[in-house]
Amino acid sequence: MRKKVLLLLGILTISAVSYSAEKASLEASLNSIENKFNDLLEKEAQKKREFEAQKAQLETEVADLKAKEEGKEKVFEKLKKDSEVRWHRDKYKQILKNYDAYYKNIARLIREKEQKIAELEQILAIMGN
């Protein structure tokens, strides 16, 4: 009978030690998972801040480009008129051509930046702005 009790106590001790080791392993695993999750949340928040900063920068660039584009019609009409009546018509025509190309590039840049802003707004909306 004594051997059975000792055997039973031995089994009980081994199972208790095994259980506590398993529990500690599970807690360590859970902590590891929580740490990885928190790291991912921090990286996502950082990426969101980067997108917001990029969006703000693009918006200021678009505002600057639109400000440059504001007075173009008056100058364009004057150059067009001067290219017809002035002595150096060819030079005025060249300036008019350069002027037109410059503002076409500004318009293209505005479209591209506005499209990028729209994409960033969609990304931020998905991220839970």
Q: What is the pLDDT along the chain (129 residues), one digit of tens a residue?
A: 666 666 666 776 766 666 666 666 777 788 888 898 999 999 999 999 999 999 999 999 999 988 888 877 877 787 777 777 766 777 777 888 888 899 899 999 999 999 999 999 999 898 885
Per the CB < 8 A criterion, the answer to whether 65 and 110 are in contact is yes
Tell me, what's the pLDDT at 54? 94
Tell me, what's the pLDDT at 6? 65
Tell me, what's the pLDDT at 111? 94
Tell me, what's the pLDDT at 99? 84
Per the CB < 8 A criterion, the answer to whether 71 and 103 are in contact is no
Please count the other Cβ atoms lying within 10 Å of the Cβ belonging to residue 117: 18
Tell me, what's the pLDDT at 16? 63
Tell me, what's the pLDDT at 22? 67
Q: Classify burial at 103, counting beta carbons within 10 Å of its beta carbon; exposed 0-12, middle 13-18, buried 19 or more.
A: middle
